[in-house]
Structure 1
Amino acid sequence: MEEYLCVEDYDVVGLDMDHTLCRYHLKETSELIYKSSAKFLVEEKGYSEELLTSYDHEFSMRGLILECLQGNFLKLDKEGRILRASHGTRAMSRADVIEHYGPDMRWKHFESFSKTLISPPKFHFFDNFVEQSGALLCARIVDLMDKTGASDAKTYTFWKDVIAAVKHNYDPSSFKADRGGYFPALKRTPGKYLQAPTPLLTTWLSKLRRAGKVTVLLTSSHSDYCRLVASHTLGVDFENLFDVIISNALKPGFFSEKPICRPFLSLEQDVEGRALPELPGPGWYSQGNWTQLHSLLQRLTGKASPKDNGFWGPMFYDGGIADIDDSPPKETFFHAVMEQHASLVLPSVEVLASVPLNHKFPCTSARRSSSAKSCSNE
């Protein structure tokens, strides 16, 4: 267990694009995501125009769990106890929660879910900024189905339509085709949704390369969208800041799939080409897997076991949340996940860029260990 994290110690620094190096105006982006999905459901799936009402920033938060068949939204503490619940957008009282989930108010799927963080078909974990808007959309659909009596014995079957809306708006081909509500709006007015370039970050990335670090940009976005976002937030010469750029990485499978199942593809003018048996050198590639990337990093660093940072990306702190019975705020399950899986938790990557490369940050694991020892000595 490492006590400190120091950028200078790494041979390879890998970074995500969205919400890490490239920041969004969250209010405007959340509204756009919601409106584009709601518009599809109204026009293509026949849902009520009531879905097109204004976006409610108070309802949506990361870390919500939707029970798809029941239409209930749950916020859990680190032990799986329900801190907040709603049926659609209607808040559930403590009595409602006890009636549905028992006197201990503990979610029955918590043990299995907390080990994998994988959402089976019957529930969904809203864990990122894009999906955050989808939580409100789903909640309002539940409200409408209750209002019109469209649900069958309190079983809700709208999830497949929500997935269709997501695919319509965010399928990689939609960017080039100017299809859906999201990509066309962002292409027309990128400054409305993307934050301005940050000289601090570009200077830091250049400093990393001068210090001999191999820099990697890894994103699940397709190359054309990546090019638009990165050029706006990092500058038109952003490609010069990285040794390797990988788009359409299809995380998290990138880190677990075998090369034969997830090969790297060549990329020419944002069109994916042939499968590559190995990466020939620095450049921009599509899809891929960790095994082949690691092999390239070995060659670029000249080390059999180059030390990488695990590819920093967005981890979203949502703070404490008041319990249903109005007791003091508790640590949420989402917060606990972040503490468990992240070596370092910072408000933004700019914090890294604002200090020398040899600055030592206390790791979250070290802080947890120190806190536990302190408590045991009291």
Structure 2
Amino acid sequence: MRIIHFMLQCSIPHHLFNSITMNKALNRLTSISGRAMYNVTTLPSSSRMRYQHQSSAPRDQLLKTYRELKHFVDDKFEPMFMIDPERIFAVNQTNFDRINIYGFDFDYTLAEYSTEMQEFIYYKAVDILCTKLDYPKGLHHQPYIPNFCIRGLHYDVKLGMFMKIDERHIVQLDTVYKGFEHFGPEKAMQELKHVHIPKKTMDESCFRGNYHLQQLTDIFSLPEMMLLANVVDYFNSKDLGYDPTAIFKDVEQAVRLVHTENHIYHEIQSNTEKYLAKDSLRPLIDKLLRDGKQLFLLTNSKLPTVLVGMEHILGKDWQDAFNVVVTDADKPNFFDTENRVFSVISEESPEPAVPKRGVQDLRKGAVYCGGCCKQLMKLKKWKSGEVIYFGDQIYADLQNPRYSNGWYTGAIIHELKREIDIMNQATFASNVVWIQTLERLIERMQDYGDAESKQVVAEWMTERRKVQQELKSIFNPRFGSVFRSALQSSYFSSRLCRVADVYTSSVMNLLGHQSDKILFPPRGSHPHEQLVSAGYQHDGFDSALSAMLRRFKHMDGHKPL
């Protein structure tokens, strides 16, 4: 049974369990743990059929192995290693030794707002809906539920329904909600008609202005999703007719006005301590400057909000730390527009001003707005391969810098810490081990076509669905993990891993990171690849890998690969 422990040693270091690696380990586990059980799936199909008709011993051994493994996982299993929630995870090889310029977004990157910010946005948007857009006053009594949803969900604007979609564009039918009404797979299928979403529709869902399917990807989207659910639920409960598209547009407008009418700025100015920790950024900035890095701030936020926030988390001299400060940048257009000039802006002169000859130099201590990436790189004489930019919004902050400009990119995903904390729980680890053990056993039991074997398969499938639901609910009872669906990565996670070179739960995790370190991603395991690849996913396990492969060879005659 130590094979299970070895499997977890190999797979845990990447923050998500490597399901393929676990499959390989468990495939070997279920074939050898009973000693006498034959590895049926390695036989040619004709031999396998002859073997099945000759004896029921392998099937009986599978049932025995099921009972032994069930007992072990329930009573004796303990994960041997924990995932560090402050780790920086590499998706792509990232040569920090070549990176001399660190860029940062402001909201939810440098400024890590408390959860009260989402609640403020929600209630202010309710006020705007009721006072400016003539929505029923009863909406004030609809509850704000902090953990109702997760980011990365999709919203069918025409049907007024939330859903989670995986990386293969498949709707997870057990995650479809209209307001607070859970549809369930059958009803969801009746409404949606199709479980697969075309690529063109998915691509268009990533950006605002699409009124068919809209993905809600950043933390600022969470209060918007909560408000959409409450408005739809309110209208349904009162049996009031409504147009789902009109509701979506109104809610979208109300949340946007919370930002553009400076409600957030005034709230932060009045209650700074409530939302931001005093001097929280100072240790990180001091470290980066000691390491000789150049820093820049590039944000869509307006200068007054940035001034209040940065003075609180870094100090009144915060501008001295940054070589360039750009506010009101209009990302993602900033990264693709070629000839938009920078304007100069200041607290004393809030209206953008362009010098007669244009901005010829981006000076330290000044604040600029507008502009474009091409001008930034030209004026600072920076090279794309030496720049990394950190942000929390995968489309506005990370996609275009990576693909259009060749910068390294770092995603700040605050939900990551909570998910890793859950993954470090013994209950979660044992459920993951058990569900994949069940899947291997089911695969093998299907090799027998008699009625008794089919009944066992049906029972195991029912048990698998139960464990699957437990794994989902431990993250969020309605939508599960931000990063995973039942069998695949979530669409949010798949897009994240396409545009980010690294990701982590907080920008402050850079404090414990060597600035000249090269980070390597874990070796990916395809279904046809072998367990040996897992040995390179964590330092210090080469000898353990070698020993376990020797044990495999000794126990079942397989040669190490």
TM-score using structure 2 length = 0.58
Relative to 1, partners in 2 of residues 1:279 and 1:204: Cα closer, same or farther, differing over 3 Å? farther
Equivalent-residue separation in structure 2 for 1:151 and 1:70 (angstroms): 13
1:187 is aligned with what amino acid? Q
- The correspondence for 2:250, drawn from 152, 155, 161, is 161
Relative to 1, partners in 2 of residues 1:229 and 1:13: Cα closer, same or farther, differing over 3 Å? same
Q: CA deviation at 1:110?
A: 4.5
Equivalent-residue separation in structure 2 for 1:115 and 1:169 (angstroms): 25
CA contact (8 A) 1:216 1:244 kept: yes
CA contact (8 A) 1:254 1:289 kept: yes
Equivalent-residue separation in structure 2 for 1:142 and 1:267 (angstroms): 42
- The correspondence for 1:206, drawn from 286, 290, 293, is 286
1:233 is aligned with what amino acid? I
Q: CA deviation at 1:111?
A: 4.8
CA contact (8 A) 2:158 2:211 kept: no
Q: CA deviation at 1:155?
A: 4.5
For residue 343 of structure 1, what is the aligned residue in structure 2?
A: 501
CA contact (8 A) 2:168 2:491 kept: yes
More helix, by proportion: 2
2:233 is aligned with what amino acid? D
Relative to 1, partners in 2 of residues 1:371 and 1:234: Cα closer, same or farther, differing over 3 Å? same
Equivalent-residue separation in structure 2 for 1:77 and 1:357 (angstroms): 34
CA displacement 1:72-131 (0-9 Å, x = unmatched):
1111111122221101221111111121234x633x245542487234122322111111
Question: Is 1:188 matched up with 2:267?
Answer: no
Equivalent-residue separation in structure 2 for 1:268 and 1:25 (angstroms): 27
CA contact (8 A) 2:91 2:500 kept: no
For residue 265 of structure 1, what is the aligned residue in structure 2?
A: 343
Q: CA deviation at 1:188?
A: 1.1
Relative to 1, partners in 2 of residues 1:71 and 1:214: Cα closer, same or farther, differing over 3 Å? same
CA displacement 1:244-281 (0-9 Å, x = unmatched):
0111111111101122xx32111132513233634413
In structure 1, stretches of 5+ residues that fail to align are: none
Relative to 1, partners in 2 of residues 1:139 and 1:306: Cα closer, same or farther, differing over 3 Å? closer
Aligned length, in residue pairs: 353
For residue 373 of structure 2, what is the aligned residue in structure 1?
A: 290
- The correspondence for 1:233, drawn from 306, 313, 320, is 313
Equivalent-residue separation in structure 1 for 2:391 and 2:492 (angstroms): 16
Equivalent-residue separation in structure 1 for 2:95 and 2:511 (angstroms): 12
For residue 334 of structure 1, what is the aligned residue in structure 2?
A: 492
Equivalent-residue separation in structure 1 for 2:519 and 2:254 (angstroms): 41
CA contact (8 A) 2:362 2:380 kept: no
For residue 542 of structure 2, what is the aligned residue in structure 1?
A: none
User: Highest CA radius of gyration, 1 or 2?
Assistant: 2
For residue 130 of structure 2, what is the aligned residue in structure 1?
A: 42
Give 1:1-378 correspondences, 5 Å limit: 4-26=93-115, 28-53=116-141, 54-83=143-172, 84-102=175-193, 105-106=195-196, 108-114=197-203, 117-119=206-208, 120-151=210-241, 155-171=244-260, 174-175=261-262, 180=263, 182-198=264-280, 201-259=281-339, 262-269=340-347, 271-275=350-354, 277-283=358-364, 284-298=367-381, 305=383, 307-314=385-392, 315=411, 316=413, 326=469, 329=472, 330=485, 331-362=489-520, 366-367=521-522, 370-372=523-525, 376-377=529-530
More strand, by proportion: 1
Sequence identity of aligned pairs in percent?
Answer: 20
2:368 is aligned with what amino acid? Y
Equivalent-residue separation in structure 1 for 2:530 and 2:289 (angstroms): 45
Equivalent-residue separation in structure 1 for 2:330 and 2:309 (angstroms): 18
Query: What secondary structure, in the 3-state scheme, does the structure 2 residue paired with 1:217 have?
Result: strand
2:376 is aligned with what amino acid? L
